[in-house]
Amino acid sequence: MSTSDRKHWNRREFTAATIAAGMAGQAGAVPAAVKTSERPAAARRVRTGVIGCGSVSNAYLPVLTQSPFVEVVSLCDIRHERARKQSEKFRIAHHYPSIEAMLAGEPFEFLVDLTDMQEHEKVNRRALEAGKHVWSEKPIANSLAAGQALLRLAAENRLRIWGAPITPLSPQFAFMASAIQRGTLGRIAAAHADYGHEGPNWSSFFYEKGGGSMPDLAVYNLTSLTGILGPVRTVTAMLSIVTPHRDIQEKGRIEVTEEDNAMLLLDHGNGVISHVQSGFNYFNPHGHVGKEEQRHTISIVGSRGYMGLIGYDWEPQGVDLATHDRPRLERHVTDANGYVWQQGAALAAESLVTDRELLITPEHALHVLEIITAARASSSNGTHVKLQSTFRWPLVGP
């Protein structure tokens, strides 16, 4: 089925399905506000294989194994012990030490790729070649050209590919994006977004070529700001390495060869300029616990208003809004409405069953990837870098 034949979510269906497929597992129960009658019936479960059984698999597997649209049939990790352990914990029947063994083993139709950032391109290509739909953690590929080749390969084989993050699916994103579309802030001028912590210590790939704070952290803000303000035309950036060596669990001391400190200026056209910063050297008392963060991590200002997102865009807590007519900050959308950052693969499986499109698109993910590679070029050459890619925008109406 082509993309244009497929239905799109309306808000009520989206909310119900998001909650139904969402983090019942994390909280232990579906939120009481959701009536059973609103939960979509699953016509079938998508046979799913998960590759990469490290840190983030602990967030994905509870959602996937509780989704009525998913049957996780196999796990894979080149560190086979990890796949074996997760298969015991989540009661998955099959586990494999390589993608080739996985593809030759228990049949499945949908691959969830949670491997190292630099591995995604290769793993995603192999899965598409083998006829599997793909959900990929970020980034989908290592370059725009390679990512576009993956999208062509998927289209030629009538397969789907999606990539994290899913920040545009939160109700707070919807509130901000439609306020911009309605003109609530007047003429938009500028935006700022930031995300950082002291850096992961469990794997070295975060600090190696193709890694860095941009594809790991800034990717969320870049997805949100381009989703709200529109595609970017030109990127200017300065990147640096603040901590040249790191101590990594089970590996010891490594040299940091990719940025751990990034500042990007983005020209969205029509005079709108935004600024995104990310880094692995940011004091952050909350670590990875998103709900503890109460700062405005995204702020947008226009001629008649200001809007600030409370907390991180991947786990937002609400939106503060002040306008010319109501100049004191007022708080809105404090309810997540079932949205959780780790539900993207479950929603993609649901989309395979229901033919309902998600708001997130691989074209948007590739545009964000191009911003990241353009920022690396800008920083090393001292130039403004023009972008080639774009995506369907706006994502939401007024």
Ligand X SMILES: NC(=O)c1ccc[n+]([C@@H]2O[C@H](COP(=O)([O-])OP(=O)(O)OC[C@H]3O[C@@H](n4cnc5c(N)ncnc54)[C@H](O)[C@@H]3O)[C@@H](O)[C@H]2O)c1
Any idea of the CA torsion for 345, 349, 352, 354, to the nearest 10 degrees? -120
User: Which of these segments, 72-80, 229-237, 355-363, 366-374, binds ligand X (CB under 6 A)?
Assistant: 72-80
Q: Which is nearer to ligand X, 40 or 54 (CB)?
A: 54
**One-character DSSP codes across 49-92:** EEE--STTHHHHHHHHHH-TTEEEEEEE-SSHHHHHHHHHHTT-
Query: Per-residue contact track with ligand X, 19 to 58, x per CB under 6 A?
Result: --------------------------------xxxxxx--
Q: How far is the CB of 300 from ligand X (least distance, A)?
A: 24
Least separation in angstroms between residue 118's CB and ligand X is 8
Tokens in use for 57?
């698999």
**Measured between alpha carbons, how far is 310 from 170 in angstroms, rounded to an integer?**
13
**Do 118 and 140 form a contact (C-beta atoms < 8 A)?**
no
Of positions 82, 132, 268, 356, contacts ligand X by CB under 6 A: 82
**By CB under 6 A, what part of segment 117-136 binds ligand X?**
117, 119, 123
- Cα dihedral 210, 118, 361, 125 in deg (nearest 10): 140
Pairing of strands 46-51, 70-76: parallel
Check residue 289 for interaction with ligand X (CB under 6 A): no
Q: How far is the CB of 96 from ligand X (least distance, A)?
A: 9
Q: Convert residues 192-231 into a mask of x (bound to ligand X by CB under 6 A) and - (unbound).
A: ----------xx------------x---------------
Nearer to ligand X, 52 or 227 (CB): 52
Beta carbon of residue 138, minimum distance to ligand X (angstroms, whole number): 6
The region of 113-121, 303-311, 328-336, 345-353 touching ligand X under the rule CB under 6 A is 113-121
Helix, strand, coil: what percent of the chain each, to 5? 35, 25, 40
Q: Which residues bind ligand X (CB under 6 A)?
A: 51-56, 76-79, 82, 99, 114-117, 119, 123, 137-138, 202-203, 216
